[in-house]
Structure 1
Amino acid sequence: MIQTLDGMFAKSSNTARQAAIGALMNTRMTGRSVRDHCLKMMAHISTAEVMGAKLEQEMKIDMILESLPNSFSQFKMNYNMNKLKLTPVELMHELESAERSLGKQESAYHAESSSKPKGKPKGGKKNKKQKEIGPAVKPAAMKKPKGKCFKCGQKGH
């Protein structure tokens, strides 16, 4: 009777373990924070282990890293080049730090790209005034006098 029960429940635990590993392998980070994603991945890992999966530490880390979007490619490269050995919780903290610096870079990029382009107009087109008058050269009398520096208060910068 014990063998019969064991046989019946062994099939369901295999199915549950396979489902947990499938969820672990198919989970990808979407728009939420990296902390939420790591916690979700660790929950999948824990479920798979409870169901009998034997996952080594390196495999857990590799699965978490592979589930991250391309915006973390620099982090992954640094992790591999420096041959780091972290636990999933330590990895989560490092990823949070990387996410914060990615956010700063993104906001700096958006601020820079939203400003008007400087320099010549695209396509080599000239301004109408420049075509009619010629190059825009200011005579010395037209130059504005230099005022006080807003940082130090000195004149003539």
Structure 2
Amino acid sequence: MTDTPLDQLGPVDYVVVEFPAGQSSFTGEMIDELISLVDAGTIRVIDVLILTKNEDGSVDALELSDLPQLGELEKLEAQLAELLAADDVEHLAAAMDPGSTAGVLIWENLWAAGFASAARRSGGQLIADGRIPIQAILASIEADLALDAQEV
């Protein structure tokens, strides 16, 4: 995966992006954005999977290296760690709807590696992290706007 010593790694995140049945239109825009983040040194891609959940609930998982035409992703493929095990795939696919396809992306946050390393050298350890879904932020903003409108 990397020649970086473990004590210098940045935080690692993942996302699962689901496309409903018949609506997976990979235009290349997501790939362009991913390549831009890698080229800028913002992230290091650790693993990429494509999951397909069949109507019977079974799941097919493809590693990036299994895809016939990688295009721009070819330069990432050589660096991948294939980190996820079968249990991980099963857990991630549990949230998917039958007939859907999902992309799983795992990356290291290179932008935060220095801070994370300094925290570890200082004796700190990560005890919690999280992410606020954009849908929750939008709902909060809409609720505040509705409340402001009622007060007028």
**TM-score of the pair, normalised by structure 2:** 0.23
Q: By percentage of residues, which structure has more helix?
A: 1
Q: By percentage of residues, which structure has more strand?
A: 2
Larger Rg: 1
Structure with bigger RCO (C-alpha 8 Å, 6+ apart): 2
